[in-house]
Amino acid sequence: MKILVTGFTPFGGETINPSWEAVRALDDSIAGADIIKCEIPTEFEASIDALKAAIDAHQPNAILCVGQFGGSPSIQVERVAINLRDARIPDNAGFQPHDQPVVGSAPDAFFSTIPTRQITDRLRAAGIPAALSYSAGTYVCNNLLYAALYESSQAEKGNSARCGFIHVPYLPDQAAAVSNAPSMSLELMVQALTIAVGTIAECR
């Protein structure tokens, strides 16, 4: 089994993105699955291109995308992606769409196809703050999750990858620059993603 796990480049003036730092620290094999790690540009269009290229190159059985949710006190396991781009700030290419679809003439939303509740329950059981989330926002994170689920929906029956998304909080160094912002250690993020990936690997 192959699981593609993605993290994002820094954005919004940051010099680090905890999503990629945690992803690249994962073991190369988890619960018997080969882990393919890919850094994704924080850009609406280029993120989808990078995802498609990784899917074509590796043909994963499952895809877990990871992004930064600054200000969150916990791991957020996303359940829904909506077909909407509405950016509060420009992406790294300077693109700031408003009221645009991710994919034209496509469904309004897709539900994540990884075991979101089971992942959340296992994270909490391990003492890791975690919550189910019903909105991945309207920025590049939601854009990527929607694209992953859309691509999976277009695959031939039996060849579609299960897809999901997890948001991680700031790292402590990032939070120190933002008054009263919650954070999480890199070690705990890596543990959380390892549990999530392991749970996905079990659901073959």
CA distance 105 to 103: 7
CA distance 72 to 70: 6
CB distance 84 to 142 below 8 Å? yes
> What sign does the dihedral 38-83-132-162 (CA atoms) show?
negative
Structure tokens at 134: 């019903």
Decide if 43 is catalytic.
no
Decide if 141 is catalytic.
yes
Considering the candidates 21, 43, 78, 151, report the single residue annotated as catalytic.
78
How far, in Å, are 74, 134, 140, 175, 190 from residue 150 at the CA level? 27, 18, 15, 34, 27
Considering the candidates 141, 151, 187, 203, report the single residue annotated as catalytic.
141
Helix (H), strand (E) at residue 117: helix 116-125
Closest CA to 63 of 186, 153, 190, 157: 153
Considering the candidates 38, 43, 151, 167, report the single residue annotated as catalytic.
167
Decide if 14 is catalytic.
no
Which amino acids are annotated catalytic? Answer: 78, 141, 167
